Amino acid sequence: MAKEIYKARVIVLNKKLSGENFIHLTLLSLDRGMVHAMQRKSKRRDSLSPLDLYDEADCNLEKTDGNDLSFLKDYELIKRRTKIGTHYRSLEIAARISFFLQSNPIHELNNHSVYSLSNTSLDSLISHPTNAICILIKVLYRYSRDEGFPVKEDWYSTLPTDDSRWAKTIINTPLAEIKIDTTCQTCVLESLEIYLDRFTEISLDSR
């Protein structure tokens, strides 16, 4: 019986070696949420090159019997994001966003919005590396809001005056127009993380 081959547009959130012959990929997909796939390593020049962290690609995946693991058959690369690695802060925040998305559930109705959030944030870490902390704040705020937590009413609206002003600017202003120093960005981030840790079920273990 032929195994099912399915197509998925994905972003690579994590990759690690699995034995001598395979790479285990954690993929955020546009339509299926989180997907785990194995890619075979090969020394042949004509073999499929490994996907890299934060790549976006259209993949053909083969389901395996009896579990949620798939095998990567081939892919068409859409976007490579190696430039994230040229800025330490961008690389750090990309890793935190990746871990955050892997650690929290993605409900089926939110698949597209979470995928878009991931795509936009990773692109922004390349184009706006000096506002990397603001990007993480936007991700945490939007994810928690879309999951139904009253983050605007219970956190955003109860901040002290200065923190409230900085948070409003970060959340509502395009990244290119944000001119807030790193200390103030960090203050807002820490306040949001404290709220999410104490009053929601959202996991922040990447801190």
- Assigned token pair, 70: 């798939």
Per-residue pLDDT for 1 more than 50? no
Residue indicated by tokens 């202003």 = 173
Domain residue spans of the chain: 5-79, 82-199
The whole-angstrom separation of Cα 92 and Cα 29 is: 22
**Confidence check: pLDDT of 206 > 60:** no
pLDDT in tens, 38-70: 998 876 655 678 899 999 999 999 998 767 899
Fold of 5-79: OB fold (Dihydrolipoamide Acetyltransferase, E2P) (2.40.50)
Q: Can you read off the two tokens belonging to residue 115?
A: 């995928």
Cα–Cα distance list, 60 to 65, 68, 128 (Å) = 17, 15, 32
Which own/partner pairs from 178-181 qualify as long-range (CB within 8 Å, at least 24 positions apart)?
178/131, 178/134, 180/134
Q: Given a cut of 70, is residue 2 above it in pLDDT?
A: no
Contacts of 107-112 spanning 24+ positions with Cβ under 8 A:
107/147, 108/33, 110/146, 110/147, 111/29, 111/30, 111/31, 111/32, 111/33, 112/30, 112/31
Bridge partners (DSSP) listed for residue 75: 59
> At 61, which helix (H) or strand (E)?
strand 56-63
Q: Which two tokens stand for residue 2?
A: 């032929």
**pTM for the whole thing?**
0.92
Sign of the four-CA dihedral 6, 12, 14, 17 = positive
Question: What DSSP character marks residue 129?
Answer: G
